[in-house]
Structure 1
Amino acid sequence: MKEPVRYLENAKELLHKSPIEGNRYANEKYVKSACGVAYLGVLKAIEEHLLKKGLTKKELQKKLKNTARHSKNIFQFITANF
């Protein structure tokens, strides 16, 4: 799982580029970029885990589509309620 960890480390580096004002990151650009990179890292980790469990590439694509759909629903819920 080296590649997913690399993605998360890159996300941390992006966050460190943004100054902090109070307890919030001041630059939205870096926060959005870091979130996107971290999300891709999580998807990579899920992909590696499912491949180790014995899923085929075709089954994996279906699982990842479902994962992306669920994460989109969660994001919509969070943005609507917070």
Structure 2
Amino acid sequence: MLMILEGINLEEGRIHVELLGKSTADEVKFLSLEFYKVLPPIKLTSFLMEILGWTSVMRYFCMLPMTANPKMGKDRF
């Protein structure tokens, strides 16, 4: 068995890579909590409606329940 890098080896002509464990640094956990303390609590739907008010992104979507067909032409994409 040939050890190429830590966690990676070559055995019988095949490369084997060890699985990495899930880990999060304590500093990241702390900063994440601090970040969420600063943000006001807001529902995702309210946030998206606010963005829709700023942009015209909805013109690129077709609502399935609507009976009207989407506009075809140069404004479509």
**So what's the TM-score if we normalise by structure 2?**
0.23
TM-score, structure 1 length as denominator?
A: 0.22
Structure number with greater Rg is 2
Between Structure 1 and Structure 2, which shows a larger proportion of helix residues?
Answer: 1
